[in-house]
Chains A and B, each alone.
Chain A
Amino acid sequence: MKPDTITKADLITGLVLLVFSLTLIEEAWRMPRLEQLGVHPSSVPGLVPGMLGVILLILGAVLTVRSVRRGGHHLGITRENTARTFRQPGNLRLIVTLVLCIGYAAFMIGNMPYWLATGIFTFLFIALFEWNPGADRRTRVRGLTLAAVIAVLVAGVVTWVFANLFLVTLP
């Protein structure tokens, strides 16, 4: 991120921290004091979470004030800026990576055999990122074959090592 983008991000982080730390303090305050157990009043469960809440509140406030002083409150969120951010190749790659990874870890695993999920994920990842629409057919076929070979190898080796060598009950 560029310095001025970070200053803007700092403002948002600062505000999030303020809300978060206030919630933390409130939750800590509501934690039981366990008087009926006769416990020592300074050993109550809420003590340290409350203390951390106060510290984070101070740090969040400093961050917010500093960001505003540096002009971070001119967020400049416009439709064009947002669209441009999403069209940057780096951000596109980031979004595709996120979708693939979360789809694999959260949805594919558990709903199909582990080896199959792993194979599909690896293949899709390599095939999508190495896809070159400009290349001729032979290059593309070769790329896809290579992706498939790596996928089969990864799925096979990882599954075998964890199931048979480490005796892990796979998800």
Chain B
Amino acid sequence: MILLENLLSFLTAIGDFLTPTALFHVAWSTGLGIIIGALPGLTATMGVALMTTLTYKLAPDLAVLILICMYVGAIYGGSRTAILLNIPGTPANAATTLDGNPLARQGLAGKAMGIATSGSVLGSIIGMFFLATLAPLLGNYALKFQSYEFFWLAIFGIVISGHLTALDDPLKGWIAGFLGLTVAMVGQEGIHAYQRFTYGTTELLGGFALIPAMVGAFGFAEVLTVMRNPAAEVINAARDSVIPKLGEVFRYWRTIIRSGIIGTGVGIIPGVGEDIGAWVSYAAARRKSKERHLFGKGSIEGLMAAECGNNAAVPGALIPVLTLAIPGSAPAAVLLAAMFIHGVRPGPMIMIENPHFVYQVVAMVFFATLAMLVFGLSMTRPLLKVLSVPRERLMPIVFVLCVIGSYAIAERPFDVGVMIAFGIGGYILREMKYPMAPLVLGIILGDILDKSLRRGLVLSDGDLTPFFTRPICAVLFLITLSSVLMSIPAFRRLVGRVVGAVLPGRASREGN
């Protein structure tokens, strides 16, 4: 019954965009997204951030439509580079290289691209289904999130995102995350109007704006990275057909559904996005696969899982954006900021104030998926051309856009300085293997953390108990705590020993 209502609202929303203008915007923005994703060094986050600066004069629904198409297109476009160049076009496609490039080296580049396309489309559809069904449900539940819950959500987001985006070294993920939170402390705070860390300058009163910071950390920093690294070569071109055989795709329906669900779930976790979605789906597919020995040597199933997982994470990441105004991934963080720039206010009230918008977003993902399918199967040659544009000609243009883009939103020269500073800082941190996603999440969550904690303490008269006894708080706190504890080797050994004592059979395996 509820599903039927959802479906009806979704169809109405589809109707909203069946205009020549909207379809035109879908076509060019998805196409451009695929190109940006395919170009090594240009990421989805950067595409969405730059596109925000280029569309902020459009009507809100069209601007958000363009940004979502850019987002979906870029996450998909990166698969081309992963297959043809063996470098991920965006970080989300890192897992794609493992099986995509071996297939291309076997002369099956076309088949690999076709499988990547179908995986992306199917992952996107599964994610879309959950976006359409979960977002309204969570939206009604989100009113239960009050200051106490938002405090933990901010801490939880930083700790989990820091942990998962730097799996081999969570310490660096956490440092990045807490640095992001600290950056957000600059400026006039909203409770007593005290000016923190502004040192008497009017410019710093409002703190650092997110979009210029992102354009710097993802745009300028990428320009620096690309210019420093040796140039990459396109190793081979597709000779076989990119149209996938349906039987070959649906043989792996279990893997598709599993990867779609994993991708969406990972997307929902604050600040943990497409790249982790792809890795977790890939690992799960490998564990369950009958052709495990092929993984890493050109497994169709592995390629399918990776591309399904990263594209399913896109709609997943939009779920907390819409219902809690907390981003599920780095590109979603920019998207959230863009929504606020356009006066669209996602958050707990959205299902009461503007339920139609939620379905419009689902419809936007739908159109982006459709365009992705069409371009994915037709744009093989033009994309190869784009991939052979030398970086020496592309990077100056990217930087020109970074400068004018960060300036244009508020017309403040100060924001160009912010872009440069975050670009250099972001580059240095990235070279030292600090993940960027928790940093970005921190900049967004800092204000929420600050106000929620102090507001909560005012409401409870300085009593800390509600922060631990309210049910949602308790759950978030326990997950956060265990994430921290499990990354301490001594504690992990202790757990292993306890588990060993209780379940002697497992002790030998834990010991290895």
Contacts and interface: CB of A to CB of B under 8 A. Distances in A.
Interface of A: 1, 6, 9-10, 13, 17, 24, 27, 31-32, 34, 37, 39-45, 47-49, 51-53, 55-56, 59-60, 62-63, 66, 90-91, 93-94, 97-98, 100-102, 104-106, 109-110, 118, 121-122, 125-126, 129-130, 150, 154, 158, 162, 165-171
A47 B403 contact: no
Contacts of A110: 413
Contacts of A32: 194
A122 B454 contact: no
Dominant secondary structure at the A interface: helix
B185 A43 contact: no
B59 interface: no
Nearest to B429: A13
B417 interface: yes
Given A9-B432, A52-B178, A62-B171, A45 B229 contact: no
B411 A56 contact: no
B450 interface: yes
Contacts of B189: 45
Given A9-B432, A51-B453, 5 more contacts: A62-B171, A94-B224, A121-B400, A125-B392, A166-B54
Contacts of B392: 125-126, 129-130
B390 interface: yes
A154 B397 contact: yes
Interface string B209-228: 00000000000100110011
Given A94-B228, A98-B224, A34 B194 contact: yes
25 contacts: A1-B431, A9-B431, A31-B196, A34-B192, A40-B462, A42-B462, A43-B458, A45-B194, A48-B185, A59-B178, A63-B175, A94-B227, A97-B224, A97-B228, A98-B424, A101-B399, A101-B420, A104-B399, A105-B403, A105-B419, A106-B416, A122-B400, A125-B396, A130-B393, A150-B397
Contacts of B138: none
Interface string B412-432: 010011011000100000011
A2 to B, nearest CB: 11
Interface in B425-477: 431-433, 449-450, 453-455, 457-458, 461-462
Contact of B191 (A45, A101, A150): A45
B433 A56 contact: no
A37 B192 contact: yes
A105 B420 contact: yes
Given A40-B458, A125-B392, A158-B401, A105 B433 contact: no
B462 A41 contact: yes
Interface string B225-257: 001111000000000000000000000000000
A171 B407 contact: yes
A94 to B, nearest CB: 4
B418 to A, nearest CB: 11
- A17, A27, A41, A101 pick with most chain B CB within 10 angstroms: A101
Interface centre among B229, B400, B411, B420 (most CB of A within 10 A): B400
Contacts of A41: 462
B161 to A, nearest CB: 15
A126 B391 CA distance: 9
Given A45-B191, A49-B182, A125-B392, A171 B400 contact: no
Interface in B72-110: none
Nearest to A27: B197
Nearest to B182: A52
Given A63-B175, A121-B400, A43 B433 contact: no
Contact of B171 (A59, A90, A121): A59
Given A48-B454, A109-B416, A168-B411, A55 B178 contact: yes
Contact of B420 (A51, A102, A165): A102
